[in-house]
Amino acid sequence: SQGISLQVSRWENQARQRERRLNELERELLEKSSRVESLHRQLDDGHRQLEESKRRQEEAELKLSLRLQEYEEELARQAAMPPRVKYVTQTVEVESADSQRALVELQTKNAGLQEQLSVQSQLLRELETQLHQSQRTCAQLRTQILVYEGEMERAQGQLEVEMQNLEEEKNRLIEEAFIRAEIEMKAVHENLAGVRMNLLSLQPALRTLTCDYNCLKRQVQEFPFMLDKAITEAKQEICQVISEVSTTNQELLRKYKREMNLRKKCHNELVRLKGNIRVFCRVRPVCLVEQDSVDSKAMLSFDSEDDAVLYLSNKGKMMTFDLDKVFPPQATQEEVFQEVQSLVTSCIDGFNVCIFAYGQTGSGKTFTMEGAVDNPGINQRALRLLFSEVTDKAPDWDYRISVSMVEIYNETLRNLLGENPSNKLDIKMNPDGSGQLYVPGLTEFTVQSPKDINRVRTSCCAHPFSVKCLQLAAGLCSLSAVI
């Protein structure tokens, strides 16, 4: 039935479109009919004007003819009177003079009438011209009427053909719809028979569902009591679980604190065993200038079995240095940092830490401490590790990291982050009784990442410098750089 509805809707749309087309043709036909009527009225008006012009012309010609005839008769009478003068006396001659004046007056009137006749002739010619123009206009109007009548006949024929086509199309569509409706109705009847058979087969299932529904209905009626009971039991279980979780959390926290203290103790013991003060030696590679020297290769040698021993040949005498660690020229920045990485953990645990590089100019202090952008040294690696450890412990601990920079040169301290780095500073004992030293007036900046520290170094320092010493102070994790 949906297909029939769609087909009927499509036919209705087509019928509406063709009806609109018929209405448009009818409007065009009415417009052309109105135009023809208007032309007919104009033609009738032209005929009336033409007849009126003819009538006025005939009246004017008749009046002119009558007046001309009267003047000719008067002239004839005047012309016939002069022969009588031969038989009158002197008194009659006087009367003849009067007649002469009358004749002059009549001639004057005749000239005026001739002029009027000329004017009337000109008017007659103009009327004849207008008559010809009216006749041409009438001929044009007749031609237009014939054209419009032809167009009307064609439009009427087209309209009749369109109506006939629409009627045939409508009959065809109705017949097709009727055939489709019969086919679909037959299919619907067949489906209906199948549905009836299904209904008959579903009746036992319906009875079963009815029984199940009644059972569920009884259960629903009992559900509020069951729900209250379940909620009460769930609350009791939740309270019990919460109590157990709280007890477990307290136990875990106690164990965590114990493990933290144990880790600190083990780490401190490891640091103590390694030594609170450790001295490392890093041998840089031979530079281009030193490659040509014969003594450059034989001056230093390493112990293959002990990485803490260094041999130095000086003036033919071999000297042995026993250190905590010796890094050969091929040692990487990462290998060097691995040896001092535990010091960052000591700082977080509450111990003061200081790492500095010592050596003559060109020995590689800046490279070891600062490194390059793609191969950072101890400073950058230590800062990254410090912030990484702080981030990991952030949920359980509160940290504040600040940075300050001082320059020690010729026993003088200068605040590199202050507005006037040339101002001298003093080192004093902390008045809180902790025995720690501090620098009054030293500028500090709170930082959140290694980028903040690098930004402080590049933007706030008055003089270019390189960090040869990294000092990590405990407590608030105050980060100091000693130049």
Has 364 been labeled as part of a binding site?
A: yes
Q: Determine the pLDDT at residue 296.
A: 62
**Cα(356)–Cα(469) distance, rounded to whole angstroms?**
4
* pLDDT tens per residue across span 68-124: 777 677 767 766 765 544 444 444 454 557 767 777 777 787 677 677 767 767 776
Comparing 434 with 182, the larger pLDDT belongs to 182
Spatial contact of 72 and 34, defined as CB atoms under 8 Å apart: no
Strand partners, 401: 447
Checking if the pLDDT of 332 tops 90, the result is: yes
Q: Determine the pLDDT at residue 327.
A: 92
Q: Determine the pLDDT at residue 375.
A: 93
Checking if the pLDDT of 456 tops 80, the result is: yes
Amino acid at 466: S
pTM over 0.85: no
Burial of 389 (0-12, 13-18, 19+ CB in 10 A): middle
Has 208 been labeled as part of a binding site?
A: no
Q: Determine the pLDDT at residue 335.
A: 93
**Cα(283)–Cα(329) distance, rounded to whole angstroms?**
5
Has 363 been labeled as part of a binding site?
A: yes
Has 362 been labeled as part of a binding site?
A: yes
CATH architecture for segment(s) 344-483: 3-Layer(aba) Sandwich (3.40)
Mean pLDDT confidence for 129-148: 74
Comparing 280 with 32, the larger pLDDT belongs to 280
Has 361 been labeled as part of a binding site?
A: yes
Q: 414: how many CB neighbours lie within 10 A of its CB? A: 19
- The 3-class SS string of 20-62 reads HHHHHHHHHHHHHHHHHHHHHHHHHHHHHHHHHHHHHHHHHHH
Q: Determine the pLDDT at residue 4.
A: 62
Mean pLDDT confidence for 24-37: 77
Checking if the pLDDT of 206 tops 70, the result is: yes
Has 264 been labeled as part of a binding site?
A: no
Has 345 been labeled as part of a binding site?
A: no
Confidence at 16, pLDDT banded by 50, 70, 90? confident
Q: Determine the pLDDT at residue 460.
A: 61
Checking if the pLDDT of 284 tops 70, the result is: yes
Checking if the pLDDT of 454 tops 50, the result is: yes
Both tokens of 3, joined, read 């297909």
Mean pLDDT confidence for 168-196: 83
Phi then psi for residue 314, to 5 deg, are -135, 110
Three-class DSSP category at 253: helix
Q: 112: how many CB neighbours lie within 10 A of its CB? A: 11
Residue ranges per structural domain of the chain: 2-193, 344-483
Spatial contact of 459 and 445, defined as CB atoms under 8 Å apart: no
Place of tokens 């009847």: 189
* Buried residues in 317-355 as b, exposed as e (16+ CB within 10 A): eeeeeeeebbbeeebebeebbebbeebbbbbbbebebeb
Residues contacting 149, CB < 8 A, separation 6+? 36
Place of tokens 């000329």: 118
Has 359 been labeled as part of a binding site?
A: yes
Query: How does DSSP classify residue 376?
Result: B
Sheet holding 317-322, edge to edge: 300-302, 309-314, 317-322
Q: Determine the pLDDT at residue 96.
A: 57
Confidence at 258, pLDDT banded by 50, 70, 90? confident
Q: Determine the pLDDT at residue 244.
A: 85
Query: How does DSSP classify residue 372?
Result: -
Checking if the pLDDT of 223 tops 90, the result is: no
Mean pLDDT confidence for 26-44: 76
Strands (E), 328-462: 353-356, 401-409, 412-415, 424-425, 428-429, 437-438, 445-447
Query: How does DSSP classify residue 371?
Result: B
**Cα(60)–Cα(121) distance, rounded to whole angstroms?**
10
Comparing 423 with 298, the larger pLDDT belongs to 423
* pLDDT tens per residue across span 310-319: 888 877 788 8
* pLDDT tens per residue across span 458-477: 776 544 444 455 555 544 33
Q: What is the number of alpha carbons within 13 Å of residue 154 lying toward its C-beta? A: 6
Phi then psi for residue 414, to 5 deg, are -130, 140
* pLDDT tens per residue across span 229-248: 888 888 888 998 888 888 88
**Cα(476)–Cα(169) distance, rounded to whole angstroms?**
96
Q: Is 412 left (phi over 0), alpha (psi -120 to 50) or beta?
A: beta
* pLDDT tens per residue across span 294-304: 666 667 888 88
Mean pLDDT across the chain: 77
